[in-house]
Structure 1
Amino acid sequence: MKIAILGTRGIPNHYGGFEQYAELLSVYLVKEGFEVTVYNSHDHPYRERTYKGVQIKHIYDPEKKIGTAGQFLYDLGCIMDIRKQNFDIVYQLGYTSSAVFNFLIPNRVTLVTNMDGLEWKRSKYSSKVQRFLRYSEKLAVKHADQLIADSYGIKAYLDEKYGCNSFYSAYTADIPGAYSVSYPERLALEPGQYNLLIARMEPENNVEMIIRAHTDLPGQQLILVGGTGTPFGKIMVERYGAYPNIRFVQGIYDKDEINSLRHFSRLYFHGHSVGGTNPSLLEAMACGCNILAHNNIFNKSVLESDALYFSDEKELQALIMGDHDAFFEKSRKNNIVKIETQFSEDHMFSLLKEKLIDCVS
């Protein structure tokens, strides 16, 4: 079976969740005997034509030159190339800039779309863009032969709103083999003496709420890992960069390094509020982090009772200053069991593989 994966900047991962997912899934499917092609942006740092058996197609991506419109042109370029190929399945990650072109995908191809989160809820978008994203969501549902929901919260939303039967398939994570204190020490961090947030600098990730909860707590050091080049990221640095206990660190993509930072943190914050199952959250669970999460259905469907939840700055401050050692000792173990059973690569990808086979049978 020939499968194309599009909707990311490409593999290996140098950016975020969908890229990491595409990398892991494509390599897994190749090992299972599938022929897999992943579409990469032309300026992706990996220049080879194959990656661990996965075929790589580089398509011109003008996003850096012309901004958001470039995403649409990149997706259009990928789809136009797909029309020349002989794929059985096109696995589309996201829909925001590609759904308007889905009518160009040949009818002989089975289109499987991973819907990601509720993109139209992101406040960084204007009301006009939010209306477009709602429209794009409808188009994605209309043209897809199978919808994939990466959380039970997203599945419930899709099935209720559109009367469909989406397939639940979340991201995966592995338990790291070892951790090294040398990684936090490189950043002059003492194990157990810093709090950690790993996220894109976007309002919906409640970055500012988490920062503000620390500004009145000078004894609590907060490390923020994520690119600050976005407009919101620049605002956060301008507002809070001078606080001695608030420290911005750019994206870290070395798995050993980022996992060690997670493992040796005192508290780990997950403020995401509009997406599905976030891979960074699963990795925090796998690393045995003490997790404080924003109180919403997406996070609760993953963490269940094995996290402390906050809805506002005051709640978060109280949790930061509280003594929760007994709770975290239990929750860390429970979350690791979840990773080993519910969110392991073998478990999640084997179910998805069978679904993909079923889609074309």
Structure 2
Amino acid sequence: MEAPKKKLKVAIMGAKGYPYVYGGYDTLVKELGERLVAKGVHVRVYNHKSLFKERPKYVNGIECVYMGAVESKIGTQLSHTFFSMIHACFSNVDVIFVVNSGNGPIGWVSRFFKKASVINVDGLEWLRPKWKGIGSRYFFWASRLATKYFDQIINDSDEMQRVYKELFNADSKVIAYGAAVKEDVEVAPIEKWGIAPQDYFLIVGRLVPDNNADLIIKGFLESDSKKKLVIVGDVPFMDEYATVLKNLDDERLLFLGYVTDPHELGAWYTHCYAYFHGHEYGGTNPAMLKALGYGCAILALDTPFNQEMLQNGKHGWYFQKTVDSVKDIVETAEASKERMEYFRKTAREGLTQKYNWDYVTEQYLEVFEKVAGFKATKDKNPKRKLEKIDT
């Protein structure tokens, strides 16, 4: 007798929640979760209770569980994931998907309860300047434990896969972060600032040391450029590094803070002369993908991750981690208008299939089915049907 069909149930945790979109992981939860639901998967997302004033049970077909946490600077995320993991392990979900390598040690819970588990470990958190001392050692330890406790490790770039193999002797699967080709946005949102199209360079990202905004700003100010340097981003707390930068007095600098309107942010991307990407650690970066999607000429810090994303110089130029190198690339870019225009025209070609959200979702679904012991069966219904593999 044919085994009864069963709907795959996936629990997602480790981000802020759904539909709360703040950073890369929150966007991953949204884009992946909605597409999984469309494929007939039951998706449950564990939300930070304190962030949601309204708490509907279902949003766009996604089950939302509002979990509390021990609210503190270092304990909120870990405690929220721990409580969510306990809840999920006592439920009937088939696979638990966790994001953030800092949650690596919590995998012992799913291992103890014999629940299938997957973790996306992101980038080299232990090298980031904000995690000095104990914080750095914790993230390295947590990343190592993630490879021991979870059934499948997900990296979002080939370089991160290499790092995890080299440091932890751990096999992982590469599934890139998704992105989409964007239409050009009209110039109106930037005209209110009295800035013309291509009359400015652009930085987008948090004002933290490992994004190297200070380096880019210093190099730009030493150049002979008459253009503006527009900085989009901030930090959600009082910070000396960010404060020093924002207090720099030069008419060529424009600090916008957070730009939460996606239409306005798209306009800044669309009309910049070139986009500066100084992110130093991590795999596939969402800001870089947006720059490609909006057709930017890209000037990126020379790292293995940025080399991979720009296909070794096909879609941008690289600068070294020195003020002189930034100064030189500003002046060279301004003197190379034809090359910058070429980068703008071909940027969207850099969003190859691996960055397509539908393709990303298919890859995740294959992983979830595998670790949960499911297999796909053919059916005329466009929604995927699954049956449990006999063990």
Q: Give the TM-score, by structure 2 length.
A: 0.86
After superposition, give the CA deviation of every residue in 1:45-83 in whole Å (9 maximum; x if it has no partner).
5733333211111112444xx312222222222222212
User: Shift of the alpha carbon at 1:208?
Assistant: 0.8
Q: Which has the higher relative contact order, 1 or 2, with Cα contacts under 8 A spaced 6 or more apart? A: 2
Q: Which amino acid aligns with 1:222?
A: L
Q: Which moved more, 1:33-42 or 1:350-359?
A: 350-359
Counterpart of 1:5? 12
Corresponding residue for 1:51?
59
What are the equivalent positions in structure 2 for 1:154-233 lying under 5 Å apart?
A: 154-217=160-223, 219-232=226-239
**1-structure distance, mates of 2:37, 2:53:** 19
Aligned in 2, Cα 1:43/1:349: closer, same or farther, shift over 3 Å? same
**What is the rounded CA distance, in whole Å, between the counterparts of 1:49 and 1:178 in structure 2?**
37
Distance 1:220-1:61 versus aligned 2 partners, 3 A rule: farther
Provide the TM-score with structure 1 as the length reference. 0.92
CA distance 1:347–1:101, change in 2 (3 Å): closer
Q: Does residue 38 in structure 1 map to residue 62 in structure 2?
A: no
3-state secondary structure, aligned to 2:65: strand
Please state if 1:237 is matched with 2:249: no
Structure 2 residue identity aligned to 1:54: I
For 1:156 and 1:102, the matched residues in 2 are separated by 22
1:102 matched to 2:107: yes
TM superposition shift of 1:251:
2.0
CA deviation profile, 1:264-303 (whole Å, cap 9, x unmatched): 1111011111111011111110100010101000111111
On the 8 A contact 1:174/1:340 being kept in 2, the answer is: no
Classify 1:177/1:78 alpha carbon distance in 2 versus 1 (closer, same or farther; 3 Å).
Answer: same
Secondary structure of 2:219's match? helix
AA matched with 2:100: G
Structure-2 residue corresponding to 1:327:
339
Cα distance in 2 for residues equivalent to 1:79 and 1:257: 38
The letter for the 2-side match of 1:262 is: Y
Most deviating of 274-283 and 48-57: 48-57
Partner Cα distance (1:171, 1:119) in 2: 17
Counterpart of 1:179, as a letter, is V
- Residue 348 of structure 1 corresponds to 360
Percent of residue pairs bearing the same amino acid type: 25
Q: 1:331 to 1:341 in 2, by over 3 A?
A: farther
RMSD of equivalent CA atoms:
2.0
Q: Which has the larger radius of gyration?
A: 2
Change (3 A) 1:185 1:53: farther
Q: Which residue of 1 aligns with 2:382?
A: none
Structure 2 CA distance, aligned partners of 1:3 and 1:186? 45
Correspondence 1:337 to 2:349: yes
The code of the aligned residue for 1:58 comes to: Y
Partner of 2:152: 146
CA contact (8 A) 2:184 2:270 kept: no
SS of 2:37's equivalent in the other structure is helix
Contact (CA 8 Å) 2:297, 2:347: kept in 1 or not?
A: no
Aligned in 2, Cα 1:99/1:355: closer, same or farther, shift over 3 Å? Answer: closer
Partner of 2:324: 314
Q: Deviations over 1:330-357 (max 9, x none)?
A: 3334431231533111222222222222
Q: Per-residue deviation at 1:88? A: 0.9
- Asked if the contact 2:89–2:115 (Cα under 8 Å) also holds between the matched residues in 1, the reply is no
How many Å separate the matches in 2 of 1:175 and 1:224?
Answer: 23
Match of 1:133 in 2: 139
Q: Does 1:71 align with 2:77?
A: yes
AA matched with 1:148: I
Unmatched tracts of structure 2, length 5 or more: 1-7, 374-391
Q: Is the 8 A contact 1:267 1:292 kept in 2?
A: yes
- DSSP-derived class of the 1:43 partner: helix
8 Å contact kept, 1:228–1:237: no
Q: Residue 201 of structure 1 contacts residue 230 of structure 1 at CA under 8 Å; is this kept in 2?
A: no
